């Protein structure tokens, strides 16, 4: 957090980060460790932006995608949901159970101060989970900003299972 002189100095720090001279800012940075850190961050940011970003051409991306065999997506059946108490923001946690070919999953979508915590337990052998990894007990946990982003993807030997959060319950909990 920048205060007083430091906050007034920010524009000059940007000048320095861009390679322009600012005697006043240079003198301040020499005596202020906090602003010296901000300057290094700005220099890295400006350097990264100036280095440029390049999107791969569509045909190059398409050719690379063809390397990966697409997994077959199997159907998911929602066995049921239960409301599991109010969270920090007054929103309601939702517990849901799902069944699919080769496994089952129980997932708790829990509201937090900022965003949602998703905790799942997956039954069945050999699954890999995204966006986080399953532990040895088949559990996975991750956080998202909004409940709508709480997609859990499971992959095993060319089979893909996509579990989206139960939207009706999500709406009801708001």
**What is the Rg, in whole angstroms, of the alpha carbon atoms belonging to the chain?**
24
Cα 131 to its chain centre, rounded Å, is 8
Question: Which one, 22 or 84, has the nearer CB to other proteins?
Answer: 22
Among 22, 26, 46, 162, binds other proteins (CB under 8 A): 46
The minimum distance between CB 169 and other proteins, in angstroms, equals 28
Nearest C-alpha neighbor of 107 from the set 117, 97, 115 = 97
By CB under 8 A, the residues from 72 to 111 that bind other proteins are none
Residue in the block written with tokens 């089952």 = 104
Question: Are the C-beta atoms of 147 and 108 separated by less than 8 Å?
Answer: no
By CB under 8 A, the residues from 110 to 149 that bind other proteins are 130-133
d(CA 157, CA 110): 30
The minimum distance between CB 25 and other proteins, in angstroms, equals 12
Among 4, 21, 31, 54, binds other proteins (CB under 8 A): 54
Residue in the block written with tokens 């070919």 = 101
By CB under 8 A, which span of 30-38, 86-94, 105-113, 157-165 interacts with other proteins?
30-38
Edge to edge, the sheet with strand 103-111 lists: 76-86, 92-100, 103-111, 116-123, 139-144
Among 5, 24, 44, 151, binds other proteins (CB under 8 A): 44
Count of residues that bind other proteins according to CB under 8 A: 35
The minimum distance between CB 51 and other proteins, in angstroms, equals 6
Cα 57 to its chain centre, rounded Å, is 26
- Name the residues that contact other proteins, by CB under 8 A: 10-11, 14, 17, 34, 36-38, 40-42, 44-46, 48-57, 60-61, 63-65, 67-68, 130-133
């Amino acid at each position: 957090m920048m205060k007083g002189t430091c906050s007034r100095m920010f524009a000059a720090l940007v000048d320095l980060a861009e390679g322009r001279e600012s005697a006043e800012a240079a003198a301040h940075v020499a005596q202020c460790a906090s602003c010296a850190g901000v300057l290094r961050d700005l220099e890295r940011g400006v350097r990264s932006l100036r280095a440029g970003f390049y999107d791969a051409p569509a045909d190059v991306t398409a050719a690379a995608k063809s390397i990966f065999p697409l997994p077959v997506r199997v159907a998911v059946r929602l066995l049921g949901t239960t409301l599991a108490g109010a969270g920090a923001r007054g929103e309601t946690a939702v517990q849901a159970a799902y069944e699919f070919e080769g496994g089952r999953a129980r997932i708790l979508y829990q509201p937090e101060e900022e965003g949602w915590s998703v905790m799942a337990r997956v039954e069945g052998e050999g699954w890999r989970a995204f966006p986080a990894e399953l532990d040895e007990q088949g559990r996975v946990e991750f956080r998202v900003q909004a409940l709508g982003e709480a997609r859990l993807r499971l992959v095993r030997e060319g089979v893909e299972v996509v579990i989206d959060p139960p939207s009706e319950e999500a709406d009801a909990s708001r």
